[in-house]
Amino acid sequence: MSHTPDEDRIASRAELLPEENRIGSEDPEAQAEAILEESDERVEDPEGTRRESTQTPD
């Protein structure tokens, strides 16, 4: 399930963190939207996303 986070959340997350700011971003809003979509998926289906993750131990 994929849905677009609301504009306020995107705008808030588009403010780069210090470590992100050092590296920079060509499109902070697109980056924020992708981060929030992935985060929302993990919240909505923690077991499903855990099985799909290559970073989560079995």
Q: In this structure, is residue 40 part of a structural domain?
A: yes
The pLDDT score that the predictor gives to residue 29 is 93
Q: In this structure, is residue 57 part of a structural domain?
A: no
Q: Give the predicted TM-score (pTM) of the model.
A: 0.65
Structural domains in the chain (count): 1
Q: What's the gap between Cα 23 and its chain centre?
A: 17
Spell out the per-residue pLDDT of the chain, length 58, in tens: 456 788 999 999 899 889 988 998 899 999 999 999 988 988 888 787 777 766 666 5
Q: In this structure, is residue 58 part of a structural domain?
A: no
Q: In this structure, is residue 2 part of a structural domain?
A: no
Q: Residue 48: give the domain boundaries.
A: 7-52
Q: In this structure, is residue 35 part of a structural domain?
A: yes
To which residue do tokens 């920079």 refer?
24
Q: In this structure, is residue 48 part of a structural domain?
A: yes
